[in-house]
Structure 1
């Protein structure tokens, strides 16, 4: 494979964006929008209750989340290429394991593996990779990468439903395991380079005459981009406000997505409508993510977090009255707008606020919070429905969290290292 150097019309960072987007796409088997298609299959085949499956899913996700901070450190230590190949291989094996589930304990192990390797690692690694290759164009690059996420969210519910109905749920898991090995791994192995400096390039692909002399040095970075260590970042109030902000959408979205088929069924809407809403959310999110990518290069990122939480409040209220197809379509469209903002803002805010040198460790903590938030999302919905035979009480209580998120996002201003003076 031939790479183009400085002066070429093609910047290899865009190839990196493509591979990162492919990685985000193949995080699908570990995401809740994919797993939701299997839940009723487990309940019907093994006789487990919805509370049992929800509890196992939450516990497995919680355990996976606690490990994600170490994955971030491994990225900083071993680099994105090594981690992407290793995680991709293990993730394929995890899919094959899930095709053999026959007990609640095997289900717990299977959920743990796909949440750690898929939802967590296969989302974290591409995000840290793109952050290394772009600074000025970071928002746009992230929006292109995120197309992989929306295509994944649009395709997986429909594909899984078709694979399960045509063959069975075991075949569906094996299908994605093979796809990871045959499609994703070759790109990760042969195409990924950890950072532009490894190829004699600089972030964003543009360099002036003076910077050419220091092409392999740290002077190529934007002077406005301060590189924070994890220890330094944790000493700022902003870091902890962001941690809270990032966990809330994960909890709300995972709770809704995990039970979306059951929620719609309780409101006399078909499984096909639920699958369509999941796909519509992804389709609407695509242009919204492109717009968000453009705007995040120009506006403070925490403004987008505020918008996300306000829209989530509307979504929760709307879901309580989604009793016909038209309202369901409206719900899916608004959900897509929220996700378009969320999938860019929650990824880009870490390198924008804390630089790119230690982005693996810092973003690893953020991803831990995302996974932990998603761990607690399904459980109250499952127990609430078993207790009240309705999702309305849980939806009402859940409104509290995005309301708090608005406050935290407003306070999460970009920090400066001058804040650290006197803190040691």
Structure 2
């Protein structure tokens, strides 16, 4: 089944997934950062105080998210989505009504929990749960909302702020989220859309995908699969949030004009969206673990490019290769969680990893800021990224299927002639 056939048969769930990930942008760093200058001006705050509020709110939301996120396994999807929307829109309204500084971290907390955390969690969890043979395509299409939001919303929000003011823009954001999500969830998503795909598949496959007993999150954290996935899931939000947070500082370090940032971000969004589209069918055909060790290699090229190449065009090399890694990574990591842990309690599994992603998005800017404030500069930040990235790529090869490893061993023996010396015959 190709994308057109899949969308035609499942257009409601595809629209639901894209809507949730796109609207999660209102709780993401790249949009909330647009309001920072107004907070500093209206509340007489400093950059460090606003970033501290943001970091604390993000860490607290990450600590709570596993407990709340796992409820999607027991609470009906439509009810869970409406409650999350209420939290999200209320936080946007609270943000707009803030008259004292202590309201800001509370609003940040709700936006990070419901927006960045739960909206993305709902979208990808529903795609993982209700689709089997076409899970890769479903996750990829739902993930398109992220680059779509990155490409469209910043410019739109800046126009709205200039038109009606920053507080009033938050009211419009809240209204957009409430109306679109509530109406579509209540009247668009029907019970027939929430039936698992391929429900008539063989019993053996079904049993493999349904754990015999409930998975506790503490058991997930003790498993080898968790520690195989955890470094990868932590790294991309850590690195991308830190790099985007200080994108102006990077441009200044390179000696370029700030205008190149907008073109770079558009290139990034296009590369991420393209790689997401390609990832879906590849995952459905070969499984996610087959590609797991390779998707971070473009990120390695991106860091080397922005660090070592002085020319302006290296910005586009940087953004393209980073977008490729992020796009493939979004689809691969989501599908791999189902392959490792099954889909029956995927809400518990995903909420744990989503919490890690939210936490890492707070750690990245903080660590980068400490390095820069210490006077070490980007000549240290980039090598630190490489020092983290290379071991993560190497350990990812442990996830390769056994038949792939066996094939590699056979090819090595055939080339070296070792299977002849050992008396072993090549497989038929």
Superimposed CA distance per residue, residues 228-247 of structure 1 (whole angstroms, 9 cap, x where no aligned partner): 74335444211222122211
TM-score, structure 2 length as denominator? 0.83
Matches within 5 A, 1:180-259: 180-193=177-190, 201-204=195-198, 207=200, 219=203, 222-227=206-211, 229-231=214-216, 233-259=220-246
Does the 8 A contact of 1:139 with 1:295 survive in 2? yes
Matches within 5 A, 1:48-67: 48-67=45-64
Distance 1:37 1:15 in 2: 32
Are 2:408 and 1:411 aligned?
Answer: no
Does the 8 A contact of 1:50 with 1:382 survive in 2? no
Matches within 5 A, 1:66-77: 66-77=63-74
> Counterpart in 1 of 2:269?
282
1:115 to 112, 116, 124: 112
1:317 to 291, 295, 304: 304
Are 2:153 and 1:156 aligned?
Answer: yes
Report which structure shows greater RCO (CA 8 Å, sep ≥6): 1
Are 2:379 and 1:392 aligned?
Answer: yes
Does the 8 A contact of 2:62 with 2:358 survive in 1? yes
Does the 8 A contact of 1:202 with 1:220 survive in 2? no
Distance 2:208 2:261 in 1: 45
Superimposed CA distance per residue, residues 286-318 of structure 1 (whole angstroms, 9 cap, x where no aligned partner): 121011111112334244343232222222233
Distance 2:114 2:120 in 1: 9
1:171 to 156, 168, 171: 168
Matches within 5 A, 1:324-339: 325-339=312-326
Distance 1:261 1:156 in 2: 19
Ranges in structure 2 where 5+ consecutive residues have no aligned partner: 1-5, 403-428
CA drift at 1:277: 2.0
Q: Secondary structure at the match of 1:308?
A: coil
> Counterpart in 2 of 1:215?
none
Distance 1:29 1:190 in 2: 23
Does the 8 A contact of 1:129 with 1:195 survive in 2? no
Distance 2:100 2:60 in 1: 19
Does the 8 A contact of 1:244 with 1:408 survive in 2? no
Quickly say closer, same or farther: Cα 1:94–1:202, change in 2 above 3 A: closer
Distance 1:359 1:83 in 2: 15
Are 2:77 and 1:80 aligned?
Answer: yes
Give the aligned CA root-mean-square deviation in angstroms. 2.9
Quickly say closer, same or farther: Cα 1:92–1:325, change in 2 above 3 A: farther
Matched pairs, number: 394
> Counterpart in 2 of 1:422?
none
Does the 8 A contact of 1:157 with 1:278 survive in 2? no
Quickly say closer, same or farther: Cα 1:283–1:172, change in 2 above 3 A: farther
Runs of 4+ in 1 over 6 A off after TM superposition: 9-12
Distance 1:47 1:320 in 2: 36
TM-score, structure 1 length as denominator? 0.83
Does the 8 A contact of 1:245 with 1:305 survive in 2? no
Distance 2:37 2:248 in 1: 9
Does the 8 A contact of 2:124 with 2:143 survive in 1? no
CA drift at 1:91: 0.6
Does the 8 A contact of 2:303 with 2:318 survive in 1? no
> Counterpart in 1 of 2:421?
none
Q: Which deviates more from structure 2 when the two are superposed, residues 126-135 or residues 40-49? A: 40-49
Largest Rg, 1 or 2: 2
Distance 1:36 1:276 in 2: 18
Does the 8 A contact of 2:128 with 2:334 survive in 1? no
Does the 8 A contact of 2:85 with 2:181 survive in 1? yes
Distance 2:232 2:122 in 1: 21
